[in-house]
Amino acid sequence: MKKLSRFLFLPLVVLLLAGNAAYAVNHEAKYFLSNGEAKLNAGHYKEAITVYTKAIEYEPKLSRSYLSEVYFKRGFAKSALGDNEGAKSDYRISIELDRTPKDAEAYYNRGIAKRTLGDNEGANADFRIAAMHGYNNAKKMLQSNDPKNSPSDANTDANSFISSGKAKLESGNHNGAIADFTKSIELDQKLAAAFFNRGIAKRLTGDKHGSLADFRKTIEVDPTPINAEAYYNRGTAKSFTGDNHGAIKDYTKAIDLNPAYGEAYAHRGKIKETIGDKEGARLDYKQAEKFHITLHSENKL
């Protein structure tokens, strides 16, 4: 029994040591940021640069988001000292390190970096996202550039990109459509329609893995659709991910909300045929034909 307890004890020690090491890494990373921040706020820019440079030398133990913030703030300190080229270099690295910021301040910082590098459109997009999350400095930045700007513009722009993406999709410009849907997602990560349509576009380019990821995201971000089209889209996403019964349920809900939804009848019929419900499929195809819908294409855009 003593031998067994000894063998059980050793892995526990290893886990405890690993946990302590992880805590130390996290603690030191936070120290670099807080110490550098204090010097930055006090106007001691050279000292702040020294601290942030040490943090960068510590790089393998820092997360990409931490490291992005370090480069951004070192760039800010360099800019304050007149080293514009050095600041731009740090800002570029900051953007590369954190392409999907997790909070409003990170979006705001990335917006500042983009503006310094001349990407005004990208900067405004980031400021809008930060403003939507209540970040007042971002709101002020938008208003100072254009008093007509408001946080609600971000949602408007997101939907505009969906519309332009759909137009490109219908014209056969699949890559252009993907680019527009991606811009929409960057502005509003809760727009299920952007993920759905990007999934369609990716599928048409042969990117099956990317397509499935977007369809799964469609289902994840819209657990309670509010209209027939949203249920239809989620049903199609479920069918592509292999959830045939879930797809039928969503198509049925779409038909309940819009009894003239011919595409929903057609696709529900196709799923029923796949799972062996021949009679159900025949009835659905018959209903679809009443609305002049046949399944010549694989999906509705």
Residues 16 and 130 in one domain: yes
Amino acid 272: pLDDT: 95
Domain boundaries, position 268: 157-290
Amino acid 99: pLDDT: 77
Cα separation, 192 vs 204, in Å, equals 19
Q: Does residue 191 lie in a domain region?
A: yes
Residues in the chain predicted with pLDDT less than 50, given as ranges, are 1-25, 147-153, 296-301
Cβ(35)–Cβ(54) below 8 Å = no
Q: Does residue 295 lie in a domain region?
A: no
Pick from 131, 152, 173: which residue ends a domain?
152
Cα separation, 260 vs 13, in Å, equals 66
* Number of domains observed in the structure of the chain: 2
Residues 118 and 192 in one domain: no
Residues 59 and 185 in one domain: no
Pick from 92, 126, 152: which residue ends a domain?
152
Tally of CA atoms within 13 A in the half-sphere of 81 that contains its CB: 19
Amino acid 24: pLDDT: 38
The two tokens of residue 178 are 């993907």
**pTM score, two decimals?**
0.46
